[in-house]
Chain A
Amino acid sequence: MNLLEQSECKPLLEVRGLKKYFPIRSGLLKKVTNHVKAVDDLSFTVATGETLGIVGESGCGKSTTGRAILRLLEPTGGEVIFQGENLAALSPNEMRMKRKDLQIIFQDPFASLNPRMTVGEIIEEPMIIFELYETSKERKEKVAELMQVVGLKSENSERFPHEFSGGQRQRIGIARALALNPKLIVADEPVSALDVSIQSQVLNLMRDLQKQYGLTYIFISHNLSVVKHFCDRIGVMYLGRMVELAPKNALYEEPLHPYTRSLLSAVPIAKPKMKRERIILTGDVPSPANPPSGCTFHTRCPDCMEICKTDKPEFQSMGDGRYVACHLYNQ
Chain B
Amino acid sequence: MLEIKNLQTRFRTDNGEITVLDGVSFQINKGETIGVVGESGCGKSVTSLSIMGLLPRTARITGGEILYNGENLVAFSKDQMRKVRGKEIAMIFQEPMTSLNPVYTIGAQIMELVLNHTSMNKKQAKEHAIQMLKLVGIPRAEEIVDEYPHQLSGGMRQRVMIAMAMSCSPSLLVADEPTTALDVTIQAQILDLMRELQQKSEMTIMLITHDLGVVAEMCDRVVVMYAGQVVEEAEVEKLFATPKHPYTVGLLGSIPDMDTEQEYLFTIGGTVPSPGQMPAGCRFAERCQKAFDKCYEQAPPLFDLNDGTKSRCWLYE
Are A and B a genuine interacting pair, yes or no? yes
Q: Determine if B97 is an interface residue (Cβ-Cβ < 8 Å).
A: yes
Kindly state the interface size class of chain A when it binds its partner: 35 or more
Q: Determine if B214 is an interface residue (Cβ-Cβ < 8 Å).
A: yes
Tell which of A166, A168, A229, A271 touches B240, judged by Cβ atoms closer than 8 Å.
Answer: A271
Task: Report yes or no: A263 in contact with B40, Cβ–Cβ below 8 A.
Answer: no
Q: Determine if A287 is an interface residue (Cβ-Cβ < 8 Å).
A: yes
Q: Determine if B254 is an interface residue (Cβ-Cβ < 8 Å).
A: yes
* Residues of B contacting A22 in the complex (Cβ-Cβ under 8 angstroms): 151
Q: Which B1-16 residues have a C-beta within 8 angstroms of A?
A: 11, 13-14
* Residues of A contacting B154 in the complex (Cβ-Cβ under 8 angstroms): 58, 63, 107-108, 189
CB contact under 8 A between A200 and B183, given known A63-B153, A194-B40, A270-B213? no
* Residues of A contacting B14 in the complex (Cβ-Cβ under 8 angstroms): 158-159
Task: Report yes or no: B237 in contact with A58, Cβ–Cβ below 8 A.
Answer: no
Tell which of A26, A163, A195, A278 touches B188, judged by Cβ atoms closer than 8 Å.
Answer: A278
Task: Report yes or no: B183 in contact with A203, Cβ–Cβ below 8 A.
Answer: no
* Residues of A contacting B178 in the complex (Cβ-Cβ under 8 angstroms): none
A153→B274 CA distance, assembly (Å): 8
Of B69-77, B259-267, B306-314, the stretch lying at the interface with chain A is B259-267
* Complex interface bits, A188-221 against B, C-beta within 8 A gives 1, otherwise 0: 0100111111111101100100000000000000
Q: Determine if B137 is an interface residue (Cβ-Cβ < 8 Å).
A: yes
Q: Determine if A57 is an interface residue (Cβ-Cβ < 8 Å).
A: yes
Q: Determine if B257 is an interface residue (Cβ-Cβ < 8 Å).
A: yes
Task: Report yes or no: B184 in contact with A224, Cβ–Cβ below 8 A.
Answer: yes
Task: Report yes or no: B185 in contact with A57, Cβ–Cβ below 8 A.
Answer: yes
Q: From A22, A156, A266, A289, name the one whose CB has the most chain B CB atoms within 10 angstroms.
A: A266
Q: Determine if A56 is an interface residue (Cβ-Cβ < 8 Å).
A: yes
Task: Report yes or no: A59 in contact with B139, Cβ–Cβ below 8 A.
Answer: yes
Tell which of B40, B97, B143 touches A195, judged by Cβ atoms closer than 8 Å.
Answer: B40
* Residues of A contacting B268 in the complex (Cβ-Cβ under 8 angstroms): 197
Closest chain B CB from A173 CB (angstroms):
12
* Complex interface bits, B237-269 against A, C-beta within 8 A gives 1, otherwise 0: 100100000000011101111100011111110
* Residues of B contacting A35 in the complex (Cβ-Cβ under 8 angstroms): none
Contact residues of B with A, CB < 8 Å? 11, 13-14, 37-42, 44-45, 56, 94-98, 134, 137-140, 143, 151-156, 158-159, 177, 180-188, 210-217, 236-237, 240, 250-252, 254-258, 262-268, 271, 274
Q: A59-B155, A163-B11, A225-B258 are in contact. List 17 more A-B contacts (CB 8 A).
A: A56-B183, A57-B186, A59-B156, A107-B154, A110-B97, A110-B98, A153-B271, A165-B41, A196-B254, A200-B266, A203-B265, A224-B258, A268-B213, A268-B217, A270-B212, A271-B240, A281-B185
